[in-house]
Chain A
Amino acid sequence: MNAVSSELNVSVPPRRNRDRAPFVRADGTGFGPWPLQAHRFLSRYGISEHHIRADIVAEAMFLVRQDNHGHWPEPTDSRIVPAVDRVLNERLSGYPHCGAPDPRTATLRLRFVLQPTVGRQELLLRRGAFRQLCERDASGALVPCHPPPDQRMVMHRQTLTYFWQNAGRLVSRLLNAAVRTAQRGISGGGDAR
């Protein structure tokens, strides 16, 4: 809610003719330049039942109106889609502090539902019902493709050493020792004098 309202409070775009027209009706249908954007957005997540979509769009419209503070007479397409996304997140327990990793996860979880039936969609979209669905639905509807990769344990590369490297090191050590000895000999001779 904060994200939407702060976004709306930042600046007020100039009114245009198309904003004046009622865009989304209370039953979820609408007309305008992109009349079915919210419905298309929902169908892309597999939500096919009309009454469920209408319910979600109606709630989204309520949210937009609530955040609108009377700046516009009707909600616009650009605001209805994030609002629908937010409703979906809330219904899928993806809102902040609900235990889910992030809101995006909730929408992804919904995509795990394959061949969504009416009952399953209703169950899934009931507010906070996601965990119940995980426990109750034994039909294979939710399929994790792999366990969460929470912690990466690094496999270190092994090292290879070769005898010629050791020989090289030995030669360099001998040379260094010889140089040091020579230097000591020179300086030692000086001290002796």
Chain B
Amino acid sequence: MTRNSTSVARPPAPARRPAGPGVRRLRSLYLALLGITAVSGAFGAAEVFTTTDPVLKPLASGLAVLFTILFCWIGANFWIAAIGTVQFVRQSRLRTSAGPARADRRARTPRRQDLGGRGTAIVMPVHNEDPDRWSMALQAMLESLDADGALDDFDLYILSDTRDPNLWVREETAWLRLSRRPAFRNHVFYRRRTENVERKSGNLKDFLELWGHRYRYMIVLDSDSVLEGPSMLEMVRRMDANPNLGLLQVWPQVIGGRTVFGRLQQFSSWLYGRLTLTGMAALLGPHGNYWGHNAIIRIEAFMRHCGLPRLPGKGPLGGEIFSHDFVEAAFLVRGGWEVRIATDIGGSFEDSPPNLPQHLSRDRRWCQGNLQHAWIMVADNIHPVSRCNFLVGILAYVSGPLWCLFLLGSAIFFSADSGLFGSDFSALSIPAWLQERFPSANISNRLLLGATAVFLLAPKIMGLATCAIGQSVRLSRVAGAVVLETLISFLVAPCIMFRHSQYVLLLVLGRKSSWDAPQRDDAKLTWKEAFQALWDLELAGAIIVGLALAHPGPAALWALIVAPGLLLSVPAAVWTGRAKPDGNAAALRLFATPIIGGEGRGETLARTHHLRTTQAQASQRSPGTLDAALRDPVAANLHACILTSGPNAAAGHDAAVVDLAHRRAVREAPPPHAVAGVLSSPASFWHLHLEAVSDSRAGVGRRPRDGTS
């Protein structure tokens, strides 16, 4: 198997195109609104943080700057949501007047022969994920394409980076189950890498270098993604219609939450996230962003411009790029290609973390990736809009420590400035202090407080208002859900703030985060697990309450904001992390959202759910493990042929490996790396297979194999 290395054929890149006049006008309006927000925030902060004490003046100035930054941050999000609301209403009217056009669009979608024989590859990188979940989603997606008569134009690649031996064997079985279906024959492929070089981006790069030249477009999926067939066809059609389009990102609707936490995320993504996204799409225009999945990419452009560089510096913020998606979008824009976000294509779904600890764990990975983007943000030849995308991504995590600093600093400032340190606190009247600090006659102070509240709450009201447009939901139920969601957000926000501060601090100190697979199922979060994950937040809450009680005053007001969330973090995590059978059915019903299924009407999603339910029952009867692969001739043949025919196949018969495998995997409990070694070596695997078969024929009972069955 010879593999010659050649360079990517370089097609002429399109000239860098500026945004259209409509987008430019919208950007000007947005910048003007942001400027007004910044100026008014700065003036208001200067009035609030005034002092005559020369010692406190540097602190007051710092707090004024911090407040201005944070005020701009929430103001920026508010204005994006406001623009998104207007755009959303416009699009809804257009959609209503356009009517159904599914058949028409299908007819206009280019076929493989129209694309020079180079169709579309659907790629799903997987890393230690449950094969039953993603294989069922893939089956439903392929069935959807087949129902539209378009399956011949697509090939599916499962790109595995899995290290868990049991999951590896199950992946192969899942692939076999898919590929043996007559309709999918020669359309479903499986490749596992032996080395996880550059993680997910390296996985995709390996695919592109080996097979990318066979396709014109690739649709990138995450292991929790579901895309309707008509939506994929529409994505291909749009790519074909616009030769300058390098990447089209589709909004993935968060769906399938079976815990209150998951359902909350689903609800807020549906009600508020959609508006923010619509606003972003309108503002970004052809200089959009990419979130790593549920997107279609022009392969030639991607291969030419998106080979990821190594970042300068060492430690977690340098070296290998952790979060590749934003960078690839910026590089495509730098290369002159358009990157757009399509908000009007439905039928695109993803899961969300089922509980708070999982959500925070995912945030840690994202935090490292986003902070690394600072290197790209300041690099030469990056488009200004791409720089803004990076800045927004960084601020999403840096705003946590900024809020933390602001709360701490302002508590110290107000206490010190009012002369409350060392005074008789029992005589203190909070209302009197508030009246003194924020006098009713001072309109600018009141406006500042009011604007802050509006910036935080108005997107929820705007989301509620858009529910009335063309959606079959009861407004009273949604309003109740908004109130409850706001209350829960109030509790969760301090936890997220503290955790983000911790993550940023750890990264600055040089601590890396791991690349573990996220939990996708809805396994019940126990009290013990919740306490192990969040005990430090409980401790921080107790310390804050203690300090507030010891020094009552303005600081106590600040403690009231953060302390309840921290103190209740463990109970809240357990309650919101419970799946349906354990209760919370009323809350789950309250946060139910309609499915935005697009032209596919959510049929693929329903089919996925049905298949997963069926498969879960079947898996309980016959779990696929290494043990099964060793004893079952079908699984053994399958594993051997996959192992020896891959591009990274290990060759040779290593007697030492056989000996180790024989000793450890059969007679002793082997460690995971030894099991993986057995599975990686064709010779040792066959040796073990023969031994296992001989044992079973000779009537030898099963020997215990920890971690393999």
Footprint of B on A, CB under 8 Å? 40, 44, 46, 101, 108, 111-115, 138, 140, 143-163, 166
Contacts and interface: CB of A to CB of B under 8 A. Distances in A.
Contacts of B380: 160-163, 166
Contacts of A155: 8, 205, 208-209, 303, 306-307
Given A152-B210, A158-B309, 12 more contacts: A115-B634, A140-B180, A140-B182, A145-B642, A151-B6, A153-B209, A156-B7, A158-B305, A160-B376, A160-B380, A161-B379, A162-B379
A145 B646 contact: yes
B375 A160 contact: yes
B214 A145 contact: no
Contacts of A149: 1, 3, 210-211, 647
B8 A156 contact: yes
A33 B605 CA distance: 61
B185 A40 contact: no
Given A140-B185, A148-B1, A113 B637 contact: yes
A160 B305 contact: no
A159 B334 CA distance: 12
B306 A158 contact: yes
User: In this complex, which of B8, B9, B378, B633 has the most chain A Cβ atoms within 10 angstroms of its Cβ?
Assistant: B633
B584 to A, nearest CB: 43
A114 B638 contact: yes
Contact of A158 (B1, B214, B331, B378): B331
Contacts of A151: 3-4, 6, 213
Nearest to B211: A147
A113 B303 CA distance: 36
A151 B646 CA distance: 14
Contact of A147 (B182, B214, B633, B686): B214
Nearest to B184: A140
Contacts of B638: 114
B7 A153 contact: yes
A156 B309 CA distance: 9
B176 interface: yes
Contacts of A160: 309, 311-312, 375-376, 379-380
B3 A143 contact: no
B641 A152 contact: no
Nearest to B186: A144
Contacts of B210: 149, 152
A153 B302 CA distance: 13
A152 B3 contact: yes
B317 to A, nearest CB: 14
B123 to A, nearest CB: 12
Nearest to A115: B634
26 contacts: A111-B641, A114-B176, A140-B180, A140-B182, A140-B185, A143-B179, A144-B189, A146-B191, A147-B189, A147-B211, A147-B214, A148-B1, A150-B4, A151-B6, A152-B4, A152-B210, A153-B6, A153-B7, A153-B213, A154-B8, A155-B205, A155-B208, A155-B209, A158-B305, A160-B379, A166-B380
B8 A152 contact: no
B273 interface: no
Interface of B: 1-9, 157, 175-176, 179-180, 182, 185-186, 189-191, 205, 208-214, 303, 305-312, 331, 375-376, 378-381, 633-634, 637-638, 640-642, 644-647, 686, 689-690
Contacts of B376: 160
A143 B176 contact: yes
A156 B5 contact: no
B189 A146 contact: yes
A112 B634 CA distance: 10
B645 A145 contact: yes
Nearest to B638: A114
Contacts of B186: 144
Contacts of B189: 144-147
Contact of B5 (A46, A146, A154): A154
Contacts of B4: 150-152
Contact of A159 (B9, B213, B309): B309
A154 B3 contact: no
User: In this complex, which of B4, B210, B642 has the most chain A Cβ atoms within 10 angstroms of its Cβ?
Assistant: B210
A145 B187 CA distance: 10
B690 A40 contact: yes
A100 B7 CA distance: 27
A158 B308 CA distance: 6
A148 B375 CA distance: 38
Contact of B6 (A44, A114, A154): A154
A160 B185 CA distance: 43
Contact of B191 (A101, A145, A154): A145
A153 B379 contact: no
B309 A111 contact: no
Contacts of B308: 157-158
Contacts of A114: 176, 634, 637-638
B637 A46 contact: yes
Contacts of B7: 153-154, 156
B637 A157 contact: no
A154 B209 CA distance: 6
A157 B328 CA distance: 12
Contacts of A115: 634
Contacts of A146: 157, 189-191, 211, 646
Nearest to A159: B309
A111 B224 CA distance: 32
Nearest to A108: B644
A161 B334 CA distance: 13
A108 B641 contact: yes
Contact of B190 (A44, A112, A145, A163): A145
Nearest to B181: A140
Nearest to B302: A155
A115 B637 CA distance: 9
Contact of B1 (A101, A111, A162, A166): A101
B1 A153 contact: no
A44 B692 CA distance: 12
B154 to A, nearest CB: 14
